């Protein structure tokens, strides 16, 4: 597999020479400074490419876009969406003209990946991302005060949430809100509680079927252009794969992925296999999902989570947690072999280590939550060892 690394651009505390030291050669990035719904121009794309390739000795290239974001109006299905679809299609054409042919995106309403703790302490002084169900419920029921929220949670979790809220300070509550908003990358809007309520009001009455249809409409609008210019679109699963704040989530399990791939059944419509996002779903068998959809996996995030009975989970070691990472890697390497044997020109699957622990000298550095250098380097090294061993034992191409 092509070993890649997420880079948030020139302001990222993890610099391009650091990335090369990890052994990764593919860069996964986006033009985070461009607002949602605005065309990515060729000049902007080429400028980012030039930054990545400025030092030829590093041997780095822009391998995957993550993400080309979808304007919220498309998800809601409100107003005249023609300009947003036109702009998205033009961005795809411009990316293809610049030679960047893999585009990761998501369809999560309002918020992106969501955690309640960004620095959960680990033995020895490291930290991890964590989702505490009772803290999320405290936010949903008592800070956001969303109508009907308490009916969606068990009495036991409600009791723990109420206890947390009653003993929390204003600083604790501000921190919880900030943590929940932290999954939105780059310079995008962070909501305060009143602003979040207003955003949720725009989704009032939205159910799974309607949100699914809005996604299917997006796919019908843009996938033909992606197919025409040679781009592989790969949707990222919901993180966590469950409803949040009353918003449906529709990229959470095997049935959801089957619906999405069937909505526009062509190779340009594919998926990002995120073993951590899917792994947070208690009913998801990640190796089985990878096996079923292997031929449409164009990009993969490899990480692991440890789940708890109440719905809480935390980022585990890349080879720890609840998902059999050896089995997942084996499926991906077997799929690469199949692609190579049929003569596919882009047979390698880009992978990146996702959401590393904050370790050693990275503790306290201003990196994006979940994206320190050393924790991801550790994960990449472990995954590289798994890939090398599986490939050798099964005579599979790396």
Residues marked as catalytic? 236, 274, 301, 354-355, 371
Beta strand pairing status for 269-274 and 297-302?
parallel
| Rg (the chain; Cα; Å) | 20
The b/e string for 46-57 (b: 16+ C-beta within 10 A; e otherwise) is: eebbebbeeeee
How far is the C-alpha of 37 from the C-alpha of 68, rounded, in Å?
9
Contact 291, 331 (CB under 8 A): yes
CA neighbor of 109 nearest in space, from 77, 142, 139: 77
CA-based angle 20:25:31, to the nearest 5? 95
How far is the C-alpha of 280 from the C-alpha of 315, rounded, in Å?
10
Q: What are phi and psi of 200, to 5 degrees?
A: -65, -30
The b/e string for 126-143 (b: 16+ C-beta within 10 A; e otherwise) is: bbbbbbbbbbbbbbbbbb
Contact 248, 107 (CB under 8 A): no
Question: In DSSP terms, which residues pair with 66 in a beta bridge?
Answer: 104
Burial of 98: CB neighbours in 10 Å, binned 0-12, 13-18, 19+: middle
- What lies within 8 Å, CB to CB, of 50 at 6+ separation is none
């Amino acid at each position: 597999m092509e070993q890649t690394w997420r880079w948030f651009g020139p302001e990222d505390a993890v610099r391009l020479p650091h990335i090369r030291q990890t052994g990764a050669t593919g860069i996964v990035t986006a033009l985070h400074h461009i607002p949602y719904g605005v065309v990515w121009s060729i000049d902007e794309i080429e400028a980012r490419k030039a930054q990545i390739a400025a030092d030829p000795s590093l041997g780095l290239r822009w391998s995957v876009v993550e993400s080309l974001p979808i304007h919220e109006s498309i998800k809601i299905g409100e107003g005249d969406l023609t300009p947003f679809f036109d702009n998205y299609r033009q961005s795809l054409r411009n990316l293809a003209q610049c030679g960047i042919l893999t585009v990761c995106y998501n369809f999560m309403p309002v918020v992106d990946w969501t955690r309640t703790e960004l620095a959960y302490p680990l033995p020895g002084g490291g930290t991890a991302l964590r989702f505490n169900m009772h803290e999320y419920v405290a936010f949903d029921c008592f800070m956001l005060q969303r109508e009907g929220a308490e009916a969606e949670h068990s009495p036991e979790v409600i009791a723990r949430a109420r206890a947390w809220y009653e003993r929390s300070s204003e600083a604790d509550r501000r921190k919880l809100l900030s943590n929940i908003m932290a999954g939105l990358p780059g310079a995008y809007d962070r909501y305060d509680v009143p602003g979040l309520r207003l955003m949720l009001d725009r989704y009032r009455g939205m159910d799974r079927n309607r949100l699914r249809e809005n996604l299917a409409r997006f796919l019908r609008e843009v996938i033909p252009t992606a197919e025409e210019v040679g781009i592989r679109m790969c949707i990222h699963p919901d993180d966590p794969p469950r409803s949040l704040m009353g918003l449906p989530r529709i990229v959470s399990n095997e049935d959801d992925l089957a619906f999405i791939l069937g909505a526009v059944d062509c190779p340009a419509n594919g998926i990002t296999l995120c073993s951590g996002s899917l792994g947070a779903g208690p009913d998801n068998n990640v190796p089985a999902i990878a096996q079923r959809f292997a031929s449409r996996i164009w990009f993969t995030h490899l990480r692991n989570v440890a789940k708890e009975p109440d719905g809480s989970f935390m980022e585990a070691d890349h080879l720890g947690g609840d998902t059999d990472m050896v089995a997942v890697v084996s499926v991906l390497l077997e799929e690469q072999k199949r692609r190579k044997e049929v003569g596919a020109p882009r047979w390698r699957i880009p992978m990146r280590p996702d959401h590393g622990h904050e370790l050693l000298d990275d503790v306290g550095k201003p990196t994006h939550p979940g994206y320190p250098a050393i924790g991801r380097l550790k994960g990449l090294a472990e995954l590289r060892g798994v890939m090398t061993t599986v490939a050798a034992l099964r005579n599979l191409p790396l």
